[in-house]
């Protein structure tokens, strides 16, 4: 266990979007000490370490001694990385995945530190506002992980693996699917009207702000579907050339209509 008067020491394992964001957040938190960044991709490990002013290694068997080892890699790599990771006695190892069981980490003090946010390399996020969902193999370990999480964010919640999977699904709907629709809109306005994505930015930002400010996003839904204007909806659908896009438009139109209060 770490001396309560000393910062909690952390090693971050990984080289992708989440690893960079977590490493930067740890490095910027006075109550934590980032001892090392470890990744099999040495070029990325050294780049993240330079950003965070810390050491790095590309060898999982040569990690620094630390209180916590945060494995921030792809879901499919968690188990393999955990099995090869060198860790000291008394430390806690956690992963950051939304849909991976805690048991993938093997034996010993282990758990989950799941940041519910989208991350992109080179883009800094205010981690103090990121919801962190934690789970531990015992109550004592859970409390230790909570201390780590509370040093990083003011939004800390407990979540079992089953609960975390549901949360992850809601994130895919709210983030990944919505961003795919942004891409579809950008491609359409560019190919049909030769207009840049910049034209859509004010609309996207105001839509996101309204949804975030509302008690429920459905309360601020607008457009032909919520009004039941199926003539306009049909015209829009026929204007799309791609059959998949036509199907998406029809499914979303029906979903908005069926879930609106205007039925």
Asked which of 119, 135, 159 is the last residue of a domain, the reply is 159
My answer on whether 175 and 190 are in the same domain is yes
My answer on whether 107 and 14 are in the same domain is yes
Pairing state between β 55-57 and 8-13: unpaired
My answer on whether 148 and 181 are in the same domain is no
My answer on whether 149 and 233 are in the same domain is no
My answer on whether 183 and 223 are in the same domain is yes
Distance between CA atoms of 85 and 237, rounded to whole angstroms? 52
If we measure between CA atoms, which residue out of 85, 99, 87, 96 comes closest to residue 127?
96
Pairing state between β 110-115 and 55-57: unpaired
Any domain includes 3 = no
Q: What is the pLDDT of residue 209?
A: 96
Model confidence at 6, pLDDT cuts 50, 70, 90, reads: confident
Any domain includes 1 = no
Q: Does pLDDT of 41 surpass 50?
A: yes
My answer on whether 128 and 113 are in the same domain is yes
Q: What is the pLDDT of residue 30?
A: 95
> Left (φ > 0), alpha (ψ -120 to 50) or beta: where does 122 sit?
left
Q: Does pLDDT of 94 surpass 70?
A: yes
Q: Does pLDDT of 211 surpass 80?
A: yes
In terms of residue numbers, what domain contains 195? 165-259
pTM of this structure: 0.91
Average per-residue pLDDT in the chain? 95
| Number of compact structural domains in the chain | 2
Asked which of 103, 129, 159 is the last residue of a domain, the reply is 159
Cβ contact 11:64 at 8 Å: yes
Rounded mean pLDDT, 219-241:
94
My answer on whether 31 and 155 are in the same domain is yes
Encoded tokens for 249 = 């438009």
Any domain includes 2 = no
| pLDDT tens-digit series, residues 123-152 | 989 999 999 999 999 999 999 999 999 999
Rounded mean pLDDT, 95-114:
96
My answer on whether 83 and 171 are in the same domain is no
Per-residue H/E/C for the chain: CCCCCCCEEEEEECCCHHHHHHHHHHHCCCCEEEEEEECCCHHHHHHHHHHHCCEEECCCCCCCCCCEEEECCCHHHHHHHHHHCCCCCCCEEEECCCCCCHHHHCCCCEEEEEECCCCCCCCCCCHHHCCEEEEECCHHHHHHHHHHHHHHCCCEEECCHHHHHHHHHHHHHHHHHHHHHHHHHHHHHHHHHCCCHHHHHHHHHHHHHHHHHCCCHHHHCCCHHHHCCHHHHHHHHHHCCCHHHHHHHHHHHHHHHHHCCCC
Asked which of 139, 159, 179 is the last residue of a domain, the reply is 159
Rounded mean pLDDT, 46-64:
96
| pLDDT tens-digit series, residues 157-204 | 999 999 999 999 999 999 999 999 999 999 999 999 999 999 999 999
Q: What is the pLDDT of residue 49?
A: 97
Q: Does pLDDT of 215 surpass 50?
A: yes
Model confidence at 262, pLDDT cuts 50, 70, 90, reads: low
Q: What is the pLDDT of residue 260?
A: 85
Model confidence at 263, pLDDT cuts 50, 70, 90, reads: very low
């Amino acid at each position: 266990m770490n001396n309560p008067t000393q910062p909690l020491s952390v090693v971050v394992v990984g080289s992708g979007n989440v690893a960079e964001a977590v490493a930067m957040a740890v490095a910027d938190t006075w109550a934590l000490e980032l001892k090392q960044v470890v990744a099999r991709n040495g070029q990325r490990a050294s780049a993240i370490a330079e950003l965070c002013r810390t050491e790095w290694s590309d060898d999982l068997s040569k990690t620094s001694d630390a209180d916590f080892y945060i494995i921030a890699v792809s879901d499919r790599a968690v188990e393999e990385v955990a099995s090869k990771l060198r860790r000291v006695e008394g430390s806690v190892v956690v992963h950051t995945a939304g849909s991976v069981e805690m048991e993938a980490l093997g034996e010993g003090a282990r758990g989950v530190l799941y940041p519910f946010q989208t991350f992109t390399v080179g883009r800094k996020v205010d981690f103090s506002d990121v919801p962190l969902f934690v789970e531990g193999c015992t109550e004592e370990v859970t409390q230790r992980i909570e201390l780590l999480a509370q040093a990083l964010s003011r939004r800390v919640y407990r979540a079992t693996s089953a609960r975390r999977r549901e949360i992850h699904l809601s994130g895919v709907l709210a983030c990944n699917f919505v961003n795919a629709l942004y891409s579809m809109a950008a491609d359409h306005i560019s190919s049909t009207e030769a207009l840049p994505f910049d034209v859509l930015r004010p609309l996207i930002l105001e839509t996101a702000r309204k949804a975030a400010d509302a008690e429920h996003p459905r309360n601020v839904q607008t457009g032909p579907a919520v009004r039941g204007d199926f003539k306009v909806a049909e015209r829009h659908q026929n204007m799309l050339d791609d059959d998949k896009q036509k199907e998406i438009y029809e499914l979303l139109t029906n979903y908005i209509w069926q879930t609106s209060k205007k039925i």
